[in-house]
Amino acid sequence: MTPTLFVLNGPNLEWLGQREPEIYGRDTLADVEQACHRAAEKAGFALRFHQTNAEHEMLALIHEARLGGNGLVINPAGFSYAAYPVLDALRMCKIPVIEVHISNLHRRETEWRSRSIMTQVVTGMITGLGTHGYVLAIEHVAHLCRVSDQLGS
């Protein structure tokens, strides 16, 4: 059976390419999805790619990933700062979880926007590498899965 990787995107990411392109670039979410499909296929994963502005939908997707996925890449976007139910759902994940941010959080204009509460429970974080961070996250999840398979053998 083909392992499954989930890529989940939070609020306002459907506006990629239009919203503040000087910060987030010109790639659209459809461009990101295509790049993720290519990277997942190359790594041997089936891909589930979703975007939601609703916290309850993000929770359902995280639970689906933790119960049926082999890895999770998440750009929590606006959920990064105060979505404690999302944090708690991620805390339950026993699969690799990589948090991705297109812009460099640490260079954001206000302190509260420069910190993600999700970092305390994720496997790792990629921030500030543009939309290419998604591809790097997929590659790293694939690496972690291979290492885990080797250790489990």
Q: Looking at 2-130, which runs of residues are DSSP E strands?
A: 4-9, 46-51, 71-75, 97-101, 124-127
Told to judge if 134 belongs to the known catalytic residues of this protein, a careful annotator would answer no
84 has catalytic annotation: no
**Which of 101, 106, 132, 134 is labelled catalytic?**
101
Catalytic residue among 24, 50, 63, 143: 24
The torsion angle over the Cα atoms of residues 48, 78, 95 and 71, rounded to 10 degrees, is: 30
20 CB neighbour count, 10 Å cutoff:
11
Angle between helix 84-91 and helix 55-68 axes, rounded to 10 deg: 0
Q: What are the catalytic residues? A: 24, 101
